[in-house]
Amino acid sequence: MTLSLTSQPQYFIGLMSGTSLDGVDAVLCEFDSNGSRMVASQHLPYPDDIKQAILALQDCSENELDKSAQLANRLSQIYAQTIQQLLSAAGFDPQQISAVGSHGQTIRHKPELAYTLQLQNPALLAELSGIDIVADFRSRDIAAGGQGAPLVPAFHQAVFSHPEKNRVIVNIGGIANLTILFPHQRLIGFDSGPGNMLMDMWAQHHIQQAFDADGAWASSGQVDKDLLDDMLAEPFLKLTPPKSTGRDLFNYGWLQGILKQRDISAVDVQRTLLEFTSITISHAIQQYAQACDEIYLCGGGAYNRALVENLRQKLHPVKIAASDDLGVPVNWVEAYAFAWLARQTKLGLAGNVPSVTGASGERVLGAVYAR
């Protein structure tokens, strides 16, 4: 059942669990004829066994089908728990929610082979939550010849665009993606390369921390130019948009293959990874959005002070600020986007942008699992 545009408020929940594997982000959003606003937010960390199960499915392994199905059920139980906590904190009942937009956990993204896979069991989630679930957002765009990602630029355009200013939104999650919001120009958005993913993996292996807080460890190291040059030779970086990537490419094996037998200290590798992320983001902006007036950061990387300062140096004198300045805190932009995309689906409106994904046309995204 589709909704109709109305002046009465409608409430949607967005769920996002990204390549950083830190857990589930959820936002409750209100939509009406004047726009939208965040009502409440909730984060539920992943247990360590869930993280390990997700990582194990990134590569081919024995009994994959059974492992995937069981993990999808576990993830859906965690998503349902997150929804319950969100509603409880906000004082809402499931009956007040029009739908939940649930992205699922990406374990394979292969648009070049015409498939993508985000694990969850939306039928189970509908049963557990008592709310309509909109899921499987990417596959329709891929069926139409697109990349299936990134999908958030359409939301960025709806919420963050300015009638006069040339803006760039940079989401620095596990992967970094850019949305170029220039008035009177077609929307451009694409993955620029790794965001936090490689830095986080290296920190976990060498300082037993989930991430390098503020980039402090990286800041104590030095850039290894030869290593950086080899990283920058990655063919993906030379592709023109539309393009998207993920852990299928930028993983620990990719990094180990470049390191080979080099005798480089762990801290210098971390500093070089930070430089790599900074350069791939800044080069993409300089190539495709040279005339930008201001840049807004979101995602976990917006908290990495060393990375942000590095970007400021490379992109000076362009203003760089957090998405908080536009009314949406950096942690919640992507979850908010999937609440917005769920509403698009329920209204029967397109959720993709062909100039971003490369699809042959606009498509209504997602499948609805009614409560």
Q: What's the chain's average pLDDT? A: 96
pLDDT of residue 6: 63
The beta-strand segments (E) located in the chain are 10-16, 23-32, 35-45, 97-102, 105-110, 115-119, 133-135, 167-172, 175-181, 188-194, 294-298, 319-322, 367-369
Q: In DSSP terms, which residues pair with 328 in a beta bridge?
A: none
Average of per-residue pLDDT across 301-314:
98
pLDDT of residue 20: 86
Average of per-residue pLDDT across 333-340:
98
Instruction: Please check the confidence at residue 77 and state whether its pLDDT lies above 90.
Output: yes
The residue whose two tokens read 């620990």 is 252
- Architecture of the structural domain at 152-326: 2-Layer Sandwich (3.30)
Q: Which of 205, 227, 207 is nearest to 275 (CA)?
A: 227
Q: Which of 148, 173, 126 is nearest to 335 (CA)?
A: 173
pLDDT of residue 164: 97
59: tokens are: 């590569």
pLDDT of residue 261: 81
pLDDT of residue 64: 92
Instruction: Please check the confidence at residue 273 and state whether its pLDDT lies above 90.
Output: yes
Average of per-residue pLDDT across 204-218:
96
Q: In DSSP terms, which residues pair with 82 in a beta bridge?
A: none
Average of per-residue pLDDT across 80-109:
97
Q: What are the residues whose beta carbons fall under 8 Å from the beta carbon of 185, sequence distance 6 or more?
A: none
- Architecture of the structural domain at 10-148+332-369: 2-Layer Sandwich (3.30)
Cα distance between residue 242 and residue 65, in whole Å: 31
Cα distance between residue 276 and residue 260, in whole Å: 17
pLDDT of residue 322: 98
Average of per-residue pLDDT across 23-38:
96
How far is the CA of 246 from the CAs of 26, 35, 67, 321, in angstroms?
Answer: 22, 32, 21, 25
DSSP assignment of 289-322: -TT-SEEEEESGGGG-HHHHHHHHHHHTTSEEEE
Instruction: Please check the confidence at residue 3 and state whether its pLDDT lies above 80.
Output: no
Percent of the chain with pLDDT over 90: 93
pLDDT of residue 58: 84
pLDDT of residue 250: 96
Tell me the per-residue pLDDT of 59-68, one tens digit each, with 9 for 90 and over.
877 889 999 9
116: tokens are: 């993508």
pLDDT of residue 1: 45
Tell me the per-residue pLDDT of 116-173, one tens digit each, with 9 for 90 and over.
999 999 999 999 999 999 999 999 999 999 999 999 999 999 999 999 999 999 999 9
146 contacts 243 by C-beta, under 8 angstroms? no
205-209 contacts: CB < 8 A, separation 24 or more?
A: 205/252, 206/266, 206/270
Tell me the per-residue pLDDT of 187-197, one tens digit each, with 9 for 90 and over.
999 999 999 99
**Chain centroid, CA 239 distance in Å:** 20
Q: In DSSP terms, which residues pair with 37 in a beta bridge?
A: 30
- b/e string for 122-141 if b means 16 or more Cβ within 10 A? bebbbebbebbbbbbbbbbb
Percent of the chain with pLDDT over 70: 98
Domain with CATH 3.30.420.40 in the chain: 10-148+332-369, 152-326
